[in-house]
Amino acid sequence: MRFENIPHLLVQRAREGQTDAMEEFCLMVQPGAYAVLLSLLRNHDDASDALQDSMVRIIRFLPSMRDPRALPGWLMRLLTNQAAESRRRGVAPVIDVGELEEGAAGAAVAATSSQPLSPRRSAETHEMNARINQAVATLSERQKVALVLFEIEDLSIIEVARIMEITSGAVKFHLHEARKNMRARLRLIGVSGSSLCEEAPTR
Amino acid sequence: MTPDKQTPCDRCEDLLDDYRQGRLPTEERKQLEDHLEHCDVCKAELLFRNELVTHLRNSMPTGPTPVGLSPAVHAAIQMPKHKLSQNSRKMVLIPWMFAAAVLVIFAVAFYNNRLTQSFDYDNIVAVQVMRGPTIHSEEKADKKSARKESPSEMMDIGRSADPDNGLKQETVMPSAPQPENAVNSVKDDNQLFETSRAGGMTLRSLDKNIPTQSAALPTTTTLNSDTFTTTESLRETTATQQPAQQTWLPVTENK
């Protein structure tokens, strides 16, 4: 998990209110925090705004954190909550599924190709990435958090469950729903040359 | 591991994630790989999950990552600790204040509910239950002993005699010697009396706007162990219905 390499002594000094320690701590936390927020919000501007709010919150609540050993999970929970709050405030717009259908025809490109991209192909890839990000934005907050933490942050189901404060079964459920929804949305986008366009296996 | 139908088994779906993350023990990993060779559905699911992750990672927006701390973050770091903790202390106090408010509301509601439960529809404010024998036919036989009972064992029944002044008189009745039909007639006339099988009870009407039922009676009655005062109508009723018992029902007109 991220943030596990932060020295315990530094955290302790920052909790005691030492300004230099807090500044150093923030500088260590900020890159990872930004990456998590970017994964969740899929937008630089939104992630930057959320990052600032998150850092202020971290500074404010770090001294009152109960168990300093649980810092990585605490930070991840704070960041996912901050991303959800940013989304609720309308910073990250919720994309309607219909918008995905409109631009589906122009974005039918295989993104997994390792060949050098021509300018046209690059533009198409960029367009398709934007569509994928829109598809992620259509997921519910819990589905998105479960998907990002599990697939991008490479956390285990148990770790995701602790961060989301739900059961492991609930995490699996949200993951399953997120994948099902993503399959349907990516089919609308028309991602070709992959199994994403195939029908979901009948269970 | 072999699916019975054309669908992957549920166990396989769980194991696929552990397999992809390299968290599966060697034995289970081999079993899963054997299964994947024969099960196209599970293989397609595995392929889908891998490609989905690739798409999610590749579609991540690229751009400049913030370098250094923003002025707002610097200001928060420089802010004195007591100010930060003051804010957080306020945040902590809010739920407690809310809980206290809810508690007070419930306490007031409970208190009011208890008050309203003691109200009668006939504007009876309070009901005080006192010990004493009840007025029932089965106790009529014990007339003499009942007459000698102490005042605390009597049943006090108060009701509004004067509609303008609320409770003015209390009607004290001995429990035993009262003829049953006479009591019944009192009940019928006033409908203010309540009798308890466990004991007597005192009913006090404090409402000045007492219903006209009591006002309709020509005279207020007072009954006690020695003297019984009844309304004229009640006296007539008892006289006609219980002529033989008039001897123990000395009646005195109330003022």
Q: What is the pLDDT of residue A198?
A: 56
Chain A residues in contact with B58 (beta carbon < 8 A): 111-112, 129
Query: SS3 for A178?
Result: helix
Calculated CA dihedral for residues B90, B95, B101, B107, nearest 10 degrees: -140
Q: How far apart are CA B3 and CA B11, in angstroms?
A: 10
Whether B4 and chain A come into contact, CB under 8 Å, resolves to no
Does residue B137 surpass a pLDDT of 70? no
Of B47, B61, B72, which has the smallest distance from its Cβ to A42's Cβ?
Answer: B61
Chain A residues in contact with B88 (beta carbon < 8 A): 60-61, 64
A147–B56 C-beta distance less than 8 A: yes
Q: Please, which residues bridge with residue B156 across strands? A: B172
Tokens of B231: 């309304």
Q: How far apart are CA B244 and CA A14, in angstroms?
A: 101
B7–A23 C-beta distance less than 8 A: no
Q: Please, which residues bridge with residue B157 across strands? A: B171
Task: Give whole-number Cα distances, A139 to A38, A134, A158, A174, B82, in Å.
Answer: 15, 9, 21, 10, 41
Chain B residues in contact with A19 (beta carbon < 8 A): 77-78
- C-alpha distance from B36 to closest chain A C-alpha (Å): 14
B66–A51 C-beta distance less than 8 A: yes
Give A92's contacts (C-beta < 8 A, 6+ positions apart).
Answer: A41, A42, A43, A46, A83, A86, A137
Q: What is the pLDDT of residue B17?
A: 86
pLDDT tens per residue, range B87-133: 555 666 788 889 999 999 999 988 888 766 655 555 555 445 445 45
Overall average pLDDT of the A112-120 stretch: 58
Query: Chain A residue with minimal CA distance to B71?
Result: A52
Of A132, A176, A201, which has the smallest distance from its Cβ to B55's Cβ?
Answer: A132
pLDDT-derived band at A115 (thresholds 50, 70, 90) equals: low
Whether B52 and chain A come into contact, CB under 8 Å, resolves to yes
A129–B88 C-beta distance less than 8 A: no
pLDDT-derived band at A131 (thresholds 50, 70, 90) equals: confident
pLDDT-derived band at A189 (thresholds 50, 70, 90) equals: confident
pLDDT-derived band at A143 (thresholds 50, 70, 90) equals: very high
Tokens of A129: 């990435």
Q: What is the pLDDT of residue B114?
A: 77
Q: Which of A43-57, B30-44, B160-174 has the lowest mean pLDDT?
A: B160-174
Q: Using an 8 Å Cβ cutoff, are A26 and B77 in contact? A: yes
Whether A199 and chain B come into contact, CB under 8 Å, resolves to no
Q: What is the pLDDT of residue B227?
A: 45
A/B interface, count of CB pairs below 8 Å: 122
Q: Is B149 left (phi over 0), alpha (psi -120 to 50) or beta?
A: beta
Overall average pLDDT of the B143-153 stretch: 49
Query: Chain A residue with minimal CA distance to B81?
Result: A17
pLDDT tens per residue, range B29-82: 888 888 888 888 888 888 889 888 988 888 888 777 888 888 888 888 887 665
Chain B residues in contact with A151 (beta carbon < 8 A): 52-53, 56
Identity of residue B136: H
DSSP B105-163: HHHHHHHHHHHHHT--TTSEEEEEE-------GGGGGGHHHHHT--GGGSEEEEE-SBT
Q: How far apart are CA A95 and CA B167, in angstroms?
A: 74
Q: Using an 8 Å Cβ cutoff, are B13 and B50 in contact? A: no
pLDDT tens per residue, range A90-100: 654 444 444 44
What length does chain A have?
203
Query: Chain B residue with minimal CA distance to A28?
Result: B68
Query: SS3 for A76?
Result: helix
Q: Buried b vs exposed e over A48-58: b needs ≥16 C-beta within 10 Å?
A: bbbbbbbbbbb
Q: How far apart are CA B128 and CA B203, in angstroms?
A: 7
B8–A60 C-beta distance less than 8 A: no
Output the CA torsion sign for B53, B25, A146, A48.
negative
Overall average pLDDT of the B160-181 stretch: 46
Which of the two residues, B65 and B4, has the higher pLDDT score?
A: B65
Q: How far apart are CA A100 and CA A187, in angstroms?
A: 10
Strand locations in B17-86, DSSP E? none
Q: What is the pLDDT of residue B12?
A: 80
Q: Half-sphere exposure (CA, 13 Å, Cβ side) for A177?
A: 15
**Residue B171: which H helix or E strand, with range?**
strand B169-173
Give B208's contacts (C-beta < 8 A, 6+ positions apart).
Answer: B163, B164, B165, B166
Q: What is the pLDDT of residue A144?
A: 93
Q: What is the pLDDT of residue B8?
A: 53
Q: What is the pLDDT of residue B14?
A: 78
Q: What's the pTM?
A: 0.56
Tokens 């029902």, located at residue:
B249
Query: Chain B residue with minimal CA distance to A129?
Result: B59
Q: What is the pLDDT of residue A111?
A: 43
State which of A35-39, B219-223, B251-255 shows the largest mean pLDDT. A35-39
Q: Using an 8 Å Cβ cutoff, are A186 and A135 in contact? A: yes
Whether A6 and chain B come into contact, CB under 8 Å, resolves to no
Of B44, B68, B72, which has the smallest distance from its Cβ to A56's Cβ?
Answer: B72
Of A38, A154, A201, which has the smallest distance from its Cβ to B8's Cβ?
Answer: A201
DSSP B184-240: HHHHHHH------SSS-EEEEE--SS--HHHHHSSS---B-SS-B---HHHHHHHHH
Chain A residues in contact with B77 (beta carbon < 8 A): 19, 22-23, 26, 59
B61–A133 C-beta distance less than 8 A: yes
Query: Chain B residue with minimal CA distance to A186?
Result: B52
Q: What is the pLDDT of residue A82?
A: 92
Q: How far is CA A170 from the centre of its chain?
A: 18
What length does chain B have?
255
Does residue A173 surpass a pLDDT of 90? yes
Chain B residues in contact with A23 (beta carbon < 8 A): 69, 74, 77
B84–A60 C-beta distance less than 8 A: yes
Task: Give whole-number Cα distances, A136 to A43, A48, A147, B214, in Å.
Answer: 11, 19, 9, 79
Q: Please, which residues bridge with residue B204 across strands? A: B126
Share the mean pLDDT of chain B.
Answer: 62
Whether A48 and chain B come into contact, CB under 8 Å, resolves to yes
Whether B86 and chain A come into contact, CB under 8 Å, resolves to no
pLDDT tens per residue, range B231-248: 455 555 555 555 444 455
Whether B87 and chain A come into contact, CB under 8 Å, resolves to yes
Overall average pLDDT of the A137-162 stretch: 92
Q: What is the pLDDT of residue B119?
A: 54
The helix/strand count (H/E) of chain B reads as: 9, 4
